Structure 1
């Protein structure tokens, strides 16, 4: 009898722990569509996970890969925002280099002399650097890797060969230990900095370090803490490139990628129910809700777009240019071009 009672207590405690975990990730919440604007899908682009805007040329770079086919090679697409149905948009601009290429996060960098695209490559646990031609074609220049960079997720460039890159969980996000660390919110995530020659840890103790972005002047770095449900704000020492945490912005969702618009506002794509993602990964008919959050100068998050996943599942990136918001996703074979209401511009 004592053994039976002990087993019952263990089962009750285990059930309570599972329920608490599910509830903490909003698993039981209802997600209703909320958006004051209008969205148009652009189809035929598999898994448009990250988007970067080249505002001067009114074009976007899109990281794309069919993630339901594990060994598929990914692509980088360039779309003209004014003419998104141009056939050029569906062309892979990498010209097949590197051969093993599974792109994830990316960042566009430009100064007076160069235009470059930095792309996280899951296949090599590396960051690829491309020159960007006038027509958007990409010329592969260099591969950056580091033994401690075990699970790179996203990148932000702060110089011609200098960048920060997130390492979401040290064991790797696709490992069993990595998944457990996500569910238990273990703080093993890091941000690395490299000047192209040497590497160092610039920030650590993050609960799944995901998207990363910089302010226009490069003095602040923003990091999405997916398992922590927050955006971390760091001051950047422009001489040492070390990061100092100055603010944590709490969200009622799990943030993925971050972009900064021309007014300095953050646009954060997020998962209201992150634990719906595994089912969606295995079956596109099982939806994963999406959310886009704007964080203005006051640091207050405000939901701009929310959907139960029927229009777009598992949004991972959102970028604004003028009155247009572009939203990408992890698995869907489409991205959205949305007209923002006047109050959100």
Structure 2
């Protein structure tokens, strides 16, 4: 979600954005300010906090090494840059900052881990200049040493929110807005114009896979047990996750007609569990989320859904915001459920039975 910075930027952009934002908030207020979320899943003593991580918006997991990588950025502080943290899941109480030289004006967002026999890389979306310059920063581990090894950028990366890296020669990227500045973003959000497309990188060039949405969000490449390829994408304004069957023509992906999985809440990031199921975190109320953007004392409901490849889903966690507000990513691992969030400086670590 990008509203965190949209709200900050409108303070400096004259009266027009104020009018747009006021209209948006009023409209959302009338729609869902009174949303009540019934608690589901672990709570109370079943959950602890892994603190010391400002704005832990996205997660990537190394299942074999039992390490969680965290994209961290304090979004409420003007001109703040960010970092990457690691969490040893064998002892998840103490996060550690990744020892690497970050590129200039590093403001991390979506993150994806690529692990093969010969390659160990983190691909991280960054916003060096908010709403104007966007990059994908590539960090590589050789032995135990990390280094920054490359930067990807292209006009088709219009407003990147999340990415899913399949190989060095295949990246799927979800934009949350099309081209344009703050007024155009707010205009699109207010009227639900669908201009946020999927971008694709083949190792040399970027292209568009189309399928524009209003407020595109998380994206995830996955295979089912038969080896069929799928692409999943969160549509925040649609309150749905879209499933695309992938067909190949001369090795290039062609997306089939989207299957809409209606969650009734705006989904954020997507992640796979060890069994290949999709975990989608959703925001219970846009109005409450916007209030939370400006003030951590205002709670914003967080929900987590488990989605199967056949489109069936179940709610596995829901909280009104007192445990965690503005949740963004969830990954289950060895009897625990790790839930990240956009603003407040901790990851929620809850007891969780990841059974069928």
After TM superposition, is the score higher than 0.5? yes
- Of 194-203 and 36-45, more deviation after overlay is shown by 36-45
| 8 Å Cα contact 2:101/2:147 also seen in 1 | no
Deviations 1:115-138 (CA, angstroms, capped at 9, x unpaired)? 111111022411111113454x53
Task: Find the partner of 1:260 among 272, 275, 279.
Answer: 272
- Of 36-45 and 150-159, more deviation after overlay is shown by 36-45
| 8 Å Cα contact 2:279/2:305 also seen in 1 | yes
Structure 1 position 185 matched with structure 2 position 159? no
In the other structure, the counterpart of 1:77 is 85
* In structure 1, C-alpha distance between the alignment counterparts of 2:254 and 2:176, rounded to whole Å: 18
Task: Find the partner of 1:208 among 205, 215, 220.
Answer: 215
Q: For structure 2, list consecutive stretches of 5 or more residues without a partner in the other structure.
A: 1-22
Structure with larger Rg: 1
- For normalisation by structure 2, the TM-score amounts to 0.85
In the other structure, the counterpart of 2:38 is 32
* In structure 2, C-alpha distance between the alignment counterparts of 1:240 and 1:22, rounded to whole Å: 44
In the other structure, the counterpart of 1:145 is 153
Measured on the aligned residues, the alpha-carbon RMSD in Å equals 2.3
* In structure 2, C-alpha distance between the alignment counterparts of 1:318 and 1:134, rounded to whole Å: 29
Deviations 1:182-221 (CA, angstroms, capped at 9, x unpaired)? 2332211111001232111013221211101111458111
In the other structure, the counterpart of 1:295 is 307
Q: For structure 1, list consecutive stretches of 5 or more residues without a partner in the other structure.
A: 1-15
1:193-272 equivalences in 2 (<5 Å) = 193-216=200-223, 219-238=229-248, 239-272=251-284
Q: How many residues in Structure 1 have an aligned counterpart in Structure 2?
A: 324
Task: Find the partner of 2:121 among 116, 123, 144.
Answer: 116
Aligned to 1:245, the other structure's residue is in SS state coil
Q: In the TM superposition, what is the alpha-carbon distance from 1:19 to its structure 2 partner?
A: 7.4
Structure 1 position 54 matched with structure 2 position 62? yes
* In structure 2, C-alpha distance between the alignment counterparts of 1:80 and 1:246, rounded to whole Å: 37
* In structure 2, C-alpha distance between the alignment counterparts of 1:64 and 1:27, rounded to whole Å: 29
Deviations 1:96-117 (CA, angstroms, capped at 9, x unpaired)? 3212100000111111111111
- Of 252-261 and 233-242, more deviation after overlay is shown by 233-242
Q: Closer, same or farther in 2 for the Cα pair 1:209/1:304, shift >3 Å?
A: same
Runs of 4+ more than 4 Å apart: 16-24
Q: Closer, same or farther in 2 for the Cα pair 1:96/1:17, shift >3 Å?
A: closer
* In structure 2, C-alpha distance between the alignment counterparts of 1:54 and 1:259, rounded to whole Å: 12
* In structure 1, C-alpha distance between the alignment counterparts of 2:34 and 2:184, rounded to whole Å: 25
In the other structure, the counterpart of 1:127 is 136
* In structure 1, C-alpha distance between the alignment counterparts of 2:85 and 2:202, rounded to whole Å: 27
1:156-171 equivalences in 2 (<5 Å) = 156-171=164-179
Structure 1 position 45 matched with structure 2 position 50? no
